[in-house]
Amino acid sequence: MSTTTVTIETPQKAYTPSISEKFSCGDAEAQHYVIDSTESSPRRSIKYDPVLEASRLADLEAPDGGHGWLVVLGCSILTYWFIGTSYSWGVIQNALVEDGVGSAASLSWVGSVATSLGAAMALITAKINVRLGSRYTCMIGITLLGLGEILASFTTHAVGGLFATAGVLFGIGNGLLFMTASVAPAQWFSRKRGLANGIVFAAGGLGGAVTSLAMNSLVGAVGPAWTFRILGFLIIGTGLPAAWVVQERRKPTSKSLDWGIFRDINFRLLFVSGIIGSFPILVPPFFIPLYSRSIGMGLNTAASLVAAFNFSSAVGRILAGVLSDRFGAVNTLLSALTINALTIIVVWPLSTSEASLIALVILSGLSSGAFASSMPTTVGNVFGSQRVSSAMGFVVTGWVGGFTMGAPIAGYMLDAFGGREAGFMPYRPAIFWAGGMALTSAMLIALMKFRLSRGELGVGRHFQNSRAVDWNEGVAKRNRGRKQLMIE
């Protein structure tokens, strides 16, 4: 039997390889170690990373329940509103287009700005969280979210007014809530982190399903103005109590952003993949209602398709959480991006009937939801739970361009090739563009996965071979000055 000896030396303490380091063995340039290898005595020296060490110890102490479930409940209610309302913009956009308020391209800017500000404010929100804490950040965010909807009710005949209220003001609230709800559960869970994130983001998909149907009914009964008004008051009334229960388990170890993470090539791949993958993410929910109208379906069918998309997204978010805990977050993220790309490229162009459209929205919703749910779990598992706020801040900030420009680019392509009145053919250039972007994003995650490991393991197992070393044993021996890990 051949045996490889890995010697780890640190002053005063020994250090076991973390998730990121073990998954990245073989890439000395990007990671926290230097490889010194000879034929007779392979040796790998691993530098001490205090953030990853703190993450491992914090994960060992994570309650995996208790008050953490109350935090999950609070985050879920907030996510129900900020994701659900954002993803339902296509319903009210369709009504505003029918009323002649503006074109699909111009009105899609409102929804895109509302969503993109959630990404643009990621780093700012990370700093605000350090200063104010999660509770007060969420309370400010949910108030601005509801206020944006209420003020939008007075501007339903002007695209500029909608842009300022339902776009910018709503978007600032979205930004404060999105980052906080994305990272708050990570500190309370370790083995069940994927499930916790899945539940939180599933609430957003459920919110989109319910809100889209409610919007459609309200628009028909009371008009767009009162639809905005009713939603705004509901958001504030239910959101403030939910924001009160959201809190962090540990105060951040550092008040500065960890820019050094960009030295990690694997993180750069994840970051660029997110940038590219953000462009097509809003195209299906924003344009499937218009597409259904272009092939002769009614307003109720269009709203039902948005509801089906959001319900499928909710299922996809929970499913991704379970799969992340079972098969690994990177595997789940890669699968979600690949399915999303193939759905857009293959299924959408063939969707000319109600049955095929239902298949389209189910597959697209499942994969979009899985992407949203598995991303924070991937960041927390691979780069450390104590680094998740900073790392997710960078990742989400990279989505700004796609969230802002993705849907408008698709809208301009639609107008350039004949507009929605010309049937389904003018949609195809935008469809293939969105699918190509999604496929490129998936390929970058595939490359990251290849670099991280030859097959990612599930959560809680930190070594590649079948005889994985238990990390609890490593922590128990961490105060020894010199340690040898025998990996068969």
Query: Does residue 46 sit in helix, strand or coil?
Result: strand
d(CA 442, CA 223): 41
d(CA 173, CA 248): 19
DSSP string, 86-151: HHTHHHHHHHHHHTTS--HHHHHHHHHHHHHHHHHTHHHHHHHHHHH-HHHHHHHHHHHHHHHHHH
pLDDT value at position 432?
94
pLDDT digits (tens, 9 = 90+) for 471-487: 333 334 444 443 443 33
The tokens describing 201, both together, are 């983001």
d(CA 469, CA 43): 18
d(CA 189, CA 64): 4
The tokens describing 182, both together, are 């994305």
Region 411-428: mean pLDDT is 83
The tokens describing 120, both together, are 């643009």
Q: Any idea what the Cα angle at residue 260 is, between residues 456 and 180, rounded to 5°?
A: 75
Q: Give residue 89's Cα distance to chain centre.
A: 18
How far the first Cα of the chain sits from its last, in Å, is: 8
Q: SS3 sequence, 310-360?
A: HHHHHHHHHHHHHHHHHHCHHHHHHHHHHHHHHHHHHHHHHCCCHHHHHHH
pLDDT value at position 13?
43
Binned at pLDDT 50, 70 and 90, residue 30 comes out as: very low
d(CA 15, CA 46): 8
Q: Which residue did the predictor score with more confidence, 328 or 235?
A: 235
Binned at pLDDT 50, 70 and 90, residue 74 comes out as: very high
pLDDT value at position 192?
76
Give, in words, the CATH class of 54-452.
mainly alpha
Region 337-361: mean pLDDT is 91
Q: Looking at 61-75, 155-169, 246-260, which range is the least confident one? A: 246-260
pLDDT value at position 78?
95
Binned at pLDDT 50, 70 and 90, residue 79 comes out as: very high
pLDDT digits (tens, 9 = 90+) for 131-149: 888 899 999 999 999 999 9
Query: Is 270:98 a contact under the CB 8 Å cutoff?
Result: no
pLDDT digits (tens, 9 = 90+) for 248-301: 776 655 556 677 788 888 889 999 999 999 899 888 887 888 888 888 887 778
Residue spans of the domains in the chain: they are 4-48+469-487, 54-452
Binned at pLDDT 50, 70 and 90, residue 27 comes out as: very low
Region 363-378: mean pLDDT is 87
d(CA 169, CA 152): 9
pLDDT digits (tens, 9 = 90+) for 296-321: 887 778 778 877 887 888 888 889 88
pLDDT value at position 99?
81
